[in-house]
């Protein structure tokens, strides 16, 4: 077996070494993109509870059990920092976003930003998004027509959800009614920034991802600075305005630059993540029509408009959402860098080492989940509660001080869209259809999930 040690253990230390294959970065990254679950499973058999992989010219330590993921997310010794790791991956495109801040500075910004996610604001966002989402879902294309080749034209649900979540972000976050072309321009800039972070070639070569990402960042900055004065001037219920006026309990507020940086980051954080969750839910409900029907039956018993108080009554959708987030986590990992010599589960981590908790390490671990590759939403029922086996068995929203600030917002948006989908459409895929994920970006189906949609 190939086996290369990450670093020599300091003399006198009883910490354990970390091993990897030592294969070149390109080989390791392509291996991960091709079959991440298979790679993790194989590594666990070869190297036990932790390994490292070469990636983007760096060595990344990856715990292969939930305890190690917990150690990174909880960061109890404050040994791991976000900025150097996330900064390396997405810094040029999302610099000074809250996820790229650390320790005292992060706490300062988070306390102000938290004011935009209080129950009162969430209730307002939920109420505001109802008519818009109802209308957007009502205008989804259906595939009842027959195409020239004799087959019904499929609807690419990934594209549809992407459009809806972007429009929602523009309306609820920005409070701006943008012409279609302008909305598309902003959408493209976001996508270019997101894709740039995961490029293998990390240099601004014209036409390639990195260069497109830098251009995208500029488009977004100009856009937000242009609209900033009107948001400062009047208080409106959208996130942009809320961030302009938010004040922490200690009386701190954001500068113009902070607002622009946070808006760019939050829009990105909210957009693709929700799109991927919706697409994954739609995929599994198409593959498992009995679950689609079960969710629809429940939706029919509940009011068409979702309120903050009825959100918890969507128990079936809730389980489907959790199971979808488990099987295909939109944010694949939590990268960090060690600021000092430290350890993970007794393994030596020298200062400067990059580490990452990878969600699928927990989410597909047969020690934590019964038959982990099976779509089985009932594993989240109170009786079975497989997600409670370990604090980090289910971790799609991360954990610790950087835990997703938008997780309730995400649930509101996702449940509203799905509730409307279930009431108005039935969608399906051929029996033998199995999606293939593109893991070189955030994990999306390569074919953008073609489904047959029938209006009810
Ligand atoms: C299903 C949808 C979502 C998923 C799976 C998700 C996942 C995550 C994860 C894993 C992190 C932590 C990353 C880390 O620690 O390195 C995170 C952070 C964050 N998320 Fe989300 N997210 C989702 C939706 C949203 C939405 C809708 C918003 C905004 C409305 C949002 C805003 C943020 C922000 C601002 C952070 C950084 C928090 C901090 O560093 O303090 N997310 N998200």
Residue 338 confidence class, pLDDT cut points 50, 70, 90: very high
Atom from ligand 1 closest to the CA of residue 330: 5
- Residue of the nearest CA to atom 43 in ligand 1? 404
Task: Take atom 31 of ligand 1 and give the residue whose Cα is closest.
Answer: 406
- Mean local confidence (pLDDT), 401-418: 97
Q: Span 364-386, mean pLDDT?
A: 98
SS3 380: helix
Task: Evaluate if residue 280 carries a pLDDT over 90.
Answer: yes
Atom 16 of ligand 1, nearest CA residue: 334
4-455 folds as Cytochrome p450 (1.10.630)
| Run of H or E including 87 | helix 83-94
Distance, CA of 107 to chain centre? 22
**Range with the poorest average pLDDT among 26-30, 284-288, 340-344, 401-405:** 26-30
Specify the ligand 1 atom closest to the Cα of 413: 27
Evaluate whether 259 touches 224 at the Cβ level (below 8 Å).
Answer: yes
Tell me whether residue 428 is exposed, middle or buried, using C-beta atoms within 10 angstroms of its C-beta: 0 to 12, 13 to 18, 19 or more: middle
pLDDT at residue 333, rounded to an integer? 95
Mutate which of 406, 412, 414 to test ligand 1's pocket (most atoms within 8 Å of Cβ)?
406
CB 99 within 8 A of CB 402: yes
Residue 1 pLDDT exceeds 80: no
Q: Would you kindly state where each structural domain of the chain is located, as residue ranges?
A: 4-455
194 alpha carbon to ligand 1 midpoint, in Å?
Answer: 14
Atom of ligand 1 nearest to the CA of 117: 30
Distance (Å) of CA 5 to CA 56, 79, 302, 347: 19, 22, 57, 12
pLDDT (0 to 100) of residue 197: 77
pLDDT at 442 over 90: no
Q: In whole angstroms, what is the distance from residue 40 CA to residue 47 CA?
A: 10
Nearest CA to ligand 1 atom 32: 406
Count CB-CB contacts under 10 A for residue 100: 22
Over the stretch 217-241, which tens digit does the pLDDT of each residue have? 999 999 999 999 999 999 999 999 9
pLDDT at 396 over 80: yes
CA of 411 to the centre of ligand 1 (A): 12
Average pLDDT over residues 26-41: 92
Nearest CA to ligand 1 atom 12: 398
Cα separation, 210 vs 444, in Å, equals 19
Give the single-character DSSP code of 328: S
Is 279 in contact with 158 (CB distance < 8 Å)?
yes
User: What pLDDT, on the 0 to 100 scale, is given for residue 129?
Assistant: 94
Whether the per-residue pLDDT at 25 is higher than 90: the answer is no
**Which residue among 100, 162, 404, 414 has the greatest number of ligand 1 atoms within 8 angstroms of its CB, and so is best to mutate?**
404
Given this model, what pLDDT does residue 151 score? 57
Mean pLDDT of the chain: 93
Q: Nearest CA to 49 among 58, 59, 40?
A: 40
Least confident of 109-113, 140-144, 381-385, 395-399: 140-144
Q: What percent of the chain has pLDDT above 70? A: 98
Protein residue closest via CA to atom 14 of ligand 1 = 334
Residue with tokens 């595939």: 143
Query: In the predicted model, what is the mean pLDDT of residues 366-388?
Result: 98
Ligand 1 atom closest to residue 276's alpha carbon, by position in its atom list: 1
Q: What is the pLDDT of residue 76?
A: 96
Residue closest by Cα to atom 19 of ligand 1: 404
pLDDT tops 70 at residue 426: yes
Supply the pLDDT for residue 448.
95
* Higher-confidence position of 309 and 114: 114
Q: In this predicted model, which residue has the larger pLDDT, 292 or 195?
A: 292
Which residues' Cβ are closer than 6 Å to ligand 1? 98-99, 110, 266, 269-270, 273-274, 277, 330-331, 334, 396-398, 402, 404-406, 409-410
What pLDDT is recorded for position 150?
Answer: 52
Q: Are 43 and 69 in contact (CB under 8 A)?
A: no
Q: Which atom of ligand 1 is nearest to the CA of 329?
A: 5
How far is 382 from 370, CA to CA, in rounded Å?
15
Predicted pLDDT of residue 455: 92
């Amino acid at each position: 077996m190939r086996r290369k040690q990450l670093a020599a253990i300091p003399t006198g230390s009883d910490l354990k070494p970390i091993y990897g294959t030592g294969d070149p970065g390109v080989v390791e990254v392509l291996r991960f993109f091709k079959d991440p679950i298979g790679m993790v499973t194989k590594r666990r058999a070869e190297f036990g509870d932790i390994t490292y992989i070469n990636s983007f010219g760096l060595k990344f330590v990856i715990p292969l059990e939930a305890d190690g993921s917990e150690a990174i997310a909880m960061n109890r010794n404050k040994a791991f920092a976000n900025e150097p790791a996330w900064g390396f991956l997405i810094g040029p495109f999302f610099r000074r976003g809250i996820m790229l801040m650390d320790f005292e500075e992060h706490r300062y910004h988070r306390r102000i930003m938290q004011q935009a996610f209080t129950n009162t604001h969430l209730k307002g966002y939920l109420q505001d998004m109802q008519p818009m989402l109802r209308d957007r879902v009502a205008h989804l294309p259906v595939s009842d027509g027959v195409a020239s080749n004799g087959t019904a034209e499929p609807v690419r649900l990934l594209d549809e959800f992407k459009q809806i979540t972007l429009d929602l972000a523009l309306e609820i976050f920005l409070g701006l009614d943008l012409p279609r072309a302008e909305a598309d321009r902003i959408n493209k800039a976001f996508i270019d920034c997101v894709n740039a972070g995961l490029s293998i070639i990390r240099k601004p070569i014209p036409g390639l991802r990195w260069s497109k990402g830098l251009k995208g960042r500029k488009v977004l900055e100009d856009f937000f600075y242009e609209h900033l004065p009107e948001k400062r001037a009047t208080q409106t219920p959208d996130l942009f305005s809320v961030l302009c006026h938010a004040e922490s309990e200690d009386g701190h507020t954001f500068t113009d630059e902070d607002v622009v940086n946070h808006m760019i980051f939050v829009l990105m954080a909210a957009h693709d993540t929700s799109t991927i969750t919706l697409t994954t839910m739609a995929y599994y409900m198409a593959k498992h029509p009995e679950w689609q029907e079960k969710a629809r039956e429940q939706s029919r018993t509940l009011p068409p408009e979702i309120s903050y108080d009825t959100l918890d009554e969507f128990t079936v959708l809730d389980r489907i959402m959790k199971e979808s987030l488990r099987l295909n986590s939109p944010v694949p990992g939590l990268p960090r860098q060690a600021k000092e010599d430290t350890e993970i589960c007794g393994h030596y981590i020298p200062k400067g080492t990059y580490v990452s908790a990878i969600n699928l390490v927990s989410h597909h671990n047969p020690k934590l989940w019964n038959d982990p590759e099976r779509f089985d939403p009932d594993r989240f029922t109170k009786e079975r509660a497989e997600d409670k086996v370990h604090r980090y068995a289910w971790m799609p929203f991360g954990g610790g001080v950087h835990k997703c600030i938008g997780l309730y917002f995400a649930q509101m948006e996702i449940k509203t869209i799905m509730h409307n989908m279930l009431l108005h459409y039935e969608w399906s895929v051929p029996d033998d259809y199995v999606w293939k994920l593109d893991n070189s970006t955030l994990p999306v189906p390569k074919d953008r999930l073609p489904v047959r949609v029938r209006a009810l």
